[in-house]
């Protein structure tokens, strides 16, 4: 009797045994359809055994084992097991969350891996008389001219010509005008820039140990050429026929990075995996990685679970970014899992950043990671921007903009340079208030104020999505003198249009980027210089290269200086360093103007000197005294219920169900910073230890007891290494 142990997408941390007479060890990692309760579900075979702890009479038989695609690699299953154990989350949910939705249903997936083809014109095609082709068939004329002017063309170049070009290509193939052949993996060596001395040292150091695991922290200032280093190392992997996984924090960074990689590796199969893809697109890319067809895999957080048959290198760009940490459900860190995956596979992992996370920096100076530096910009004559402060205590500000900033914008427009105004608030204004009774518009489902969106004439909650019309008078006192307070991107955009009527202004935030192709169009407008001033949120702060950007203006950054979040200063410095780094990346010197009430604050002084290491050492000293990470390890038990007292009572109870031991510290339960979200009241309980091993041991025993508690009115989740409280 062959028994298969199956991981299912259910919130129970166990594998389920089924009878499968034909199963063998080769089926480990294969999808299977099994009965579960009254329905049939899809799971993944994790183990094959000859016996079970249950009697044969209690076991049900598997219905169907899918063999339409190769099994998940052992390395990926081991990553899922580690993830389940470290984050104390059911293995079945971990394994199944990494599968594309198209592979979670009962229909066999018959999509075959795409073979990279290239196309060339035949003698017959060369002799075609274009006069015989209808003048209305403009696309046929353009495609034929493209073929006649090039020896070999790949499908990517054909698709860039027009959306209908693939259909015309098929017609040319049927007519015998062109032929196809399998592409060779080659690199455009003629476009490689000359490496600077620092870059060459970094490439040589990593390349010398390319076939073994190391965690390299690449600390390079903005514009120092980290991407060029990535591409040189990727090229070495391609020469060995191996694959590279490149993780990026934001979906908005994908188009630009993909464009750079495709320009360097024009016929290399490259895939992008992110939430903007539909189910079929994600499944196709996922399968190309599994089959080994895709050699470069670019992706956001979830891509760390992509099956890669011959992984040779892992790159985590902007490693400090909080977006790598999942905040709900399985609260994993893609950066940390990438390091584990590289270690288990025996390949190097590169963490790149201009402002490394304090955890990574601490690991580097403690010699757990190997740190490499890039201290100068890669472009000729490019230098770090000068950073100046506008003291808003002494200077009048109208609609969020000082006269000094407006004057600077006018100068850049006169020089035909672009500018960026950075304010990390979308909408028109963050508050709608009555001047008579101080009533403010708040969300009924969240502990937050409703944001004014004047263009849409509504109030919107940026947490739950609730919307309502802007009232004509105060609901409390009836006074009609209600007004928006504070500034968001929409209000700054309107103010700039009023004060600089001839400027071409483009707002970039989540509201303006709802459509699938919006970001690509925005980038085209910027690079083709159809924009003078960009107004945007943190979407613009990192990873983008705008060569003609000469000025960055930062509005209202002071709120983070006195936040209750101990990571606020680190996050603010990183954000400001990143957004400042957008300026002066080409030949002209960039300029950064920051409007603040505290120009002498130590953080701003370190920023002005571009001195990350000074600030990092200062913040680490504070964290050591306060006993905060990275000097301790933490876990957060979150609870939510219809009322706050229920959540707090639950947390108070679970404190008593286990003895914490000597090295474990448990803090009293408290309301979450945002105590109400989407109609539920929230509280949390913090557990910490100076030993990761002891904390994990405690959490394992605690999780067993937590699973046994009846929680009808409570939803709870365990977050290991939390970054939000």
- Write the Ramachandran bin of 459: left for phi over 0, alpha for psi from -120 to 50, otherwise beta: beta
Would you call the peptide bond into 630 cis, given omega within 30 degrees of 0 as the criterion? Answer: yes
Per-residue confidence (pLDDT) for residue 267, from 0 to 100: 77
Whole-number pLDDT of residue 562: 83
Q: What angle do CA 35, 41, 42 make, to 5 degrees?
A: 120
How much is the pLDDT for 189? 47
Q: Which residue has tokens 């400090």?
A: 320
Q: What is the pLDDT of residues 563-619, one digit of tens each?
A: 888 999 999 999 999 888 888 766 677 899 999 999 999 999 999 999 999 999 999
Is 124:176 a contact under the CB 8 Å cutoff? yes
Angle at 164 between CA 160 and CA 165, to 5 degrees: 55
Measured CA to CA, the distance from residue 350 to residue 109 in angstroms comes to 34
- The mean pLDDT of the chain is 89
**497: exposed, middle or buried (C-beta count within 10 Å: 0-12, 13-18, 19+)?**
middle
As a three-state string, the secondary structure of 8-60 is ECCCCCCCEEEECCCCCHHHCCCEEEEEECCEEEEEEEEEEECCCCCCHHHCC
CATH number (3.40.1440.60, 3.40.50.720, 2.40.50.140, 3.30.230.70) of 3-103 reads: 3.40.1440.60
- Residue of 300, 288, 302, 233 whose CA lies nearest to 79: 302
d(CA 683, CA 650) in angstroms, rounded, equals 10
Instruction: For residues 631 and 359, give the distance between their C-alpha atoms in angstroms, rounded to a whole number.
Output: 9
**Residue 219 near residue 372, CB atoms below 8 Å:** yes
> Would you state the pLDDT for residue 68?
83
Both tokens assigned to 261: 């990689």
Alpha-carbon span 406 to 287, nearest angstrom: 51
Measured distance CA(51)–CA(54) in Å, rounded: 9
Residues of the chain with pLDDT under 50: 113, 185, 189-190
Which pairing describes strands 39-49 and 117-121: parallel, antiparallel, or unpaired?
Answer: unpaired
Task: Give the pTM.
Answer: 0.86
CATH label, 633-720, candidates 3.30.70, 1.10.10, 3.10.450, 3.40.50: 3.30.70
Q: Are 236 and 210 in contact (CB under 8 A)?
A: yes
Asked if the domains 189-374 and 386-429+486-621 are classified in one and the same CATH topology, the answer is yes
Determine contact, residues 405/538, Cβ cutoff 8 Å.
no
pLDDT in tens, 607-639: 999 999 999 999 999 999 999 999 999 999 999
Looking at domain 386-429+486-621, which of 3.40.50.300, 1.10.3720.10, 3.30.565.10, 3.40.50.620 is its CATH number? 3.40.50.300
Pair type for strands 715-720 and 633-641: antiparallel
Are 563 and 551 spatial neighbours (Cβ–Cβ below 8 Å)? Answer: no
> Rounded to an integer, what distance in angstroms lies between the CA atom of residue 339 and that of residue 357?
15
Domain at 189-374, CATH homologous superfamily: P-loop containing nucleotide triphosphate hydrolases (3.40.50.300)
Listed by start position, the domains of the chain span 3-103, 117-182, 189-374, 386-429+486-621, 633-720
Q: Residue 198 in contact with residue 145, Cβ under 8 Å?
A: no
Cα separation, 158 vs 143, whole angstroms: 8
Please give the angle made by the CA atoms of 660, 665 and 670, to the nearest 5 degrees.
110
């Amino acid at each position: 009797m062959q028994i298969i142990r199956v991981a299912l997408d259910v919130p129970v941390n166990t594998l389920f045994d089924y009878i499968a007479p034909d199963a063998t060890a080769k089926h480990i990692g294969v999808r299977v359809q099994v009965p579960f309760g009254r329905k049939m579900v899809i799971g993944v075979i994790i183990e094959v055994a000859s016996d079970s702890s249950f009697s044969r009479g209690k076991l049900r038989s598997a219905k169907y084992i899918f063999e339409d695609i190769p099994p998940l690699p052992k390395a990926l299953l081991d990553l899922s097991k580690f993830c389940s154990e470290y984050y104390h989350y059911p293995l079945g949910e971990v394994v199944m969350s990494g599968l594309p939705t198209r592979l979670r249903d009962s229909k066999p997936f018959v999509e075959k891996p795409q073979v990279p083809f290239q196309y060339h014109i035949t003698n017959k095609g060369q002799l075609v008389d274009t006069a015989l082709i209808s003048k209305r068939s403009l696309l046929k004329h353009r495609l034929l001219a493209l073929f006649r002017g090039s020896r070999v063309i790949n499908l990517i170049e054909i698709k860039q010509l027009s959306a209908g070009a693939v259909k015309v290509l098929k017609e040319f193939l049927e007519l015998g005008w062109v032929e196809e052949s399998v592409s060779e993996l080659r690199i455009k060596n003629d476009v490689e820039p000359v490496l600077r001395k620092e870059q060459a040292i970094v490439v040589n150091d990593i390349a010398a140990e390319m076939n073994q695991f190391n965690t390299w922290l690449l600390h390079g200032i903005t514009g120092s050429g980290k991407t060029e280093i990535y591409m040189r190392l990727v090229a070495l992997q391609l020469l060995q026929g191996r694959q590279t996984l490149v993780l990026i924090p934001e979906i908005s960074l994908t188009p630009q990075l993909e464009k750079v990689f495709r320009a360097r590796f024009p016929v290399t199969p490259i895939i992008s995996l992110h939430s903007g893809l539909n189910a079929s697109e994600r499944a196709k890319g996922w399968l190309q990685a599994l089959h080994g067809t895709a050699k470069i895999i670019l992706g956001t957080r979830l891509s760390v679970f992509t099956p890669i048959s011959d992984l040779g290198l892992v790159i985590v760009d902007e490693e400090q970014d909080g977006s790598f940490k999942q905040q709900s459900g399985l609260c994993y860190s893609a950066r940390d899992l990438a390091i584990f995956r590289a270690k288990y596979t025996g390949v190097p992992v590169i963490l790149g950043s201009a402002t490394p996370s304090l955890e990574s920096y601490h690991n580097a100076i403690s010699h757990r990671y190997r740190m490499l530096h890039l201290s100068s910009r890669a472009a000729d004559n490019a230098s770090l921007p000068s950073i100046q402060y506008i003291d808003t205590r002494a200077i009048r500000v109208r609609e969020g903009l000082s006269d000094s900033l407006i004057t600077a914008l006018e100068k850049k427009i006169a020089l035909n340079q672009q500018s960026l105004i950075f304010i990390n608030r979308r909408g028109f204004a963050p508050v709608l208030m009555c001047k008579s009774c101080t009533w403010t518009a708040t969300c009924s489902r969240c502990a937050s104020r409703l944001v004014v969106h004047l263009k849409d004439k509504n109030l919107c909650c940026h947490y739950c999505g609730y919307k309502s019309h802007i009232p004509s008078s105060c609901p409390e006192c009836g006074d009609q003198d209600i007004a928006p307070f504070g500034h968001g991107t929409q209000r700054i955009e309107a103010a700039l249009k009023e004060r600089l009527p001839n400027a071409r202004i483009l707002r970039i935030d989540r509201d303006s980027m709802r459509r699938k192709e919006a970001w690509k169009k925005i980038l085209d407008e910027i690079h083709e210089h159809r924009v003078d001033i960009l107004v945007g949120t943190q979407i613009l702060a990192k990873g983008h290269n705008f060569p003609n950007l000469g000025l960055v203006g930062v509005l209202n950054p002071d709120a983070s200086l006195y936040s209750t979040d101990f990571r606020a200063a680190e996050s603010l410095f990183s954000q400001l360093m990143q957004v400042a780094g957008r300026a002066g990346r080409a030949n002209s010197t960039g300029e950064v103007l920051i409007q603040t009430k505290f120009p002498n604050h130590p953080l701003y002084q370190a920023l002005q000197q571009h001195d990350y290491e000074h600030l990092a050492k200062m913040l680490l000293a504070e964290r050591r005294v306060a006993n905060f990470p990275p000097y301790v390890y933490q876990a957060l038990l979150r609870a939510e219920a219809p009322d706050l007292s229920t959540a707090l009572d639950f947390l108070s109870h679970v404190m008593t169900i286990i003895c914490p031991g000597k090295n474990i510290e448990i803090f009293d339960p408290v309301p979450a910073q945002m105590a109400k979200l989407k109609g539920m009241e929230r509280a949390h309980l913090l557990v910490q230890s100076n030993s990761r091993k002891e904390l994990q041991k405690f959490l394992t025993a605690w999780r067993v007891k937590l699973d046994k508690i009846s929680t009808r009115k409570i939803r709870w989740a365990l977050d290991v290494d939390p970054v939000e409280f």
